[in-house]
Amino acid sequence: MSGRIVTFGEALATTEVDDTGVLGPASVAGAELNTAVGLARLGHDVTWASRLGDDAFAGLVRETLRAEGIDDRFVVPAPGEQTGLIVKQRREGDDIRSEHYRATSAASRLRSDDLSAAMLEGAAWLHATCITPALGAGPKGLFENVLHEASMRGIPISLDANHRPQLMTEDELRAVIDDWLDVVDTFFCNEDEARVLTGTTSTDAAIGALARRGPRVVVVKLGGRGAMAGDAGGRRFTPASVVAPPTHPVGAGDAFAAAWISCTLRGYTVDAALPVSAWCAARVVADPRDHGGFPRRAELDAFEAAQREQTEAGR
């Protein structure tokens, strides 16, 4: 459907500890991998690349990729190396404490030349996040090489700021964005990231400042309030979609990105893509797993059909 989509980055195993200190079953996480899952479920041909060891968690990652139909030909094998881990603990209300164990993971040892240019052959889209350059010098070099190669080939690029303060300072985030924003088709960030990057708390002004630096579209995710997008046609807003009581915010932005990329490749306008992306994000927020709530194409088609019926009934 509309060509192959490529993404790359870190895979993490994740588990949650309950009130008694017992660990639950492990699942797979990672921003780029989450987005790959979302795109594959929406019917797209997706390639995800990284570096994986041969521990039990790496096996779980491989099983997830196979189950979702994601191409893993460009995953670099790293025998003896380990997969990063996130341990989560739910505290009061929606407060979730996350402890990350990733400093010596296989993905943190990615090198600038680990992924061949063949990965981008025939690609219709490249999706990246700023988590990868935050992992270290090697991953940063890889990030730069892949984005440069994609831009030279004329492949549209989406970039999600996805700032991780424990990995990257605000100055380092600004430096990465300064270097690469001019080659990006679609740029995603949240309100805090927009403020860090532009120095303004006005979402409208931040979108304008970022858009003037090159992206065709800038999307600012507003959490429980929705999202705003800006392009040459002006600003558009969509309220947050609610499909069930929210239980877990992790993965919502990755789902939003997956739906947005899918909509763009299917020729949707910004106005049409916003509510679809918000609905996909809400599906993930309502599910305790990082990508368990990602919808299938048939579910999204049903949502869109219901929206059309509602619009027609209101006329």
CATH number of the domain encompassing residue 17 = 3.40.1190.20
- Write down the pLDDT at residue 118: 93
Indicate the residue type of 170. Answer: E
CB neighbour burial string for 15-32, b if at least 16 within 10 angstroms, e if fewer: ebeeeeeeeeebbbbbbb
Question: What is the pLDDT at residue 231?
Answer: 94
pLDDT of 311:
72
| Residue 249 binned pLDDT confidence (cut-offs 50, 70, 90) | low
CA distance 309 to 222: 27
Write down the pLDDT at residue 25. 85
**244: pLDDT confidence band, cut at 50, 70 and 90?**
low
314, part of any domain:
no
Please check the confidence at residue 1 and state whether its pLDDT lies above 70.
no
Domain for residue 2, yes or no?
no
In a domain, 23, yes or no: yes
What are the DSSP calls for 223-249, one per residue? GGG-EEEEETTEEEEEPPP-SS-----
Number of domains in the chain: 1
Q: How far does Cα 247 stand from its chain's mean position?
A: 19
Distance between CA atoms of residues 49 and 72, nearest Å: 6
Strands (E), the chain: 4-8, 12-17, 27-29, 46-49, 51-52, 76-77, 84-90, 96-101, 123-129, 157-160, 186-190, 217-221, 227-231, 234-238
User: Strand 12-17's sheet: what is its strand order?
Assistant: 27-29, 12-17, 84-90, 96-101
The answer to whether residue 231 is domain-embedded is yes
To the nearest whole percent, how much of the chain has pLDDT over 70? 92
Between CA 61 and CA 65 the distance in angstroms is 6
Domain that holds residue 198: 7-305
* Rounded percentage of the chain residues whose pLDDT exceeds 90: 72
Q: For residue 54, is it within any domain?
A: yes
Query: CA 276 to CA 69: how far, in whole Å?
Result: 23
Integer Cα distance of 240 and 237 in angstroms? 10
Residue 178 lies in a domain: yes
| pLDDT recorded at residue 20 | 76
Confidence of residue 114 (pLDDT cuts 50, 70, 90): very high
Q: Which of 78-92, 131-145, 225-239 has the lowest mean pLDDT?
A: 78-92
Q: Provide the token pair at 40.
A: 């594959």
Helix, coil or strand: residue 45: coil
Q: Is residue 86 part of a domain?
A: yes
Residue tagged active-site, from 45, 254, 287, 290: 254
Q: Looking at residue 224, what is its pLDDT?
A: 86
pLDDT of residue 286: 61
**Is 254 among the residues known to form the active site?**
yes
Q: How confident is the model at residue 248 (pLDDT cuts 50, 70, 90)?
A: low
Q: What value does the mean pLDDT take over residues 274-303?
A: 84
What's the full length of the chain, in residues? 315
Q: Are 223 and 240 in contact (CB under 8 A)?
A: yes
Q: Using alpha carbons only, what angle is made at residue 97 by residues 163 and 166, rounded to the nearest 5 degrees?
A: 30
User: Does the pLDDT at position 31 exceed 80?
Assistant: yes
Query: pLDDT tens digits for 46-78?
Result: 999 999 999 999 999 999 999 999 999 999 999
* CA atoms of 278 and 231, how far apart (whole Å): 18
The verdict on residue 222 lying in a domain is yes
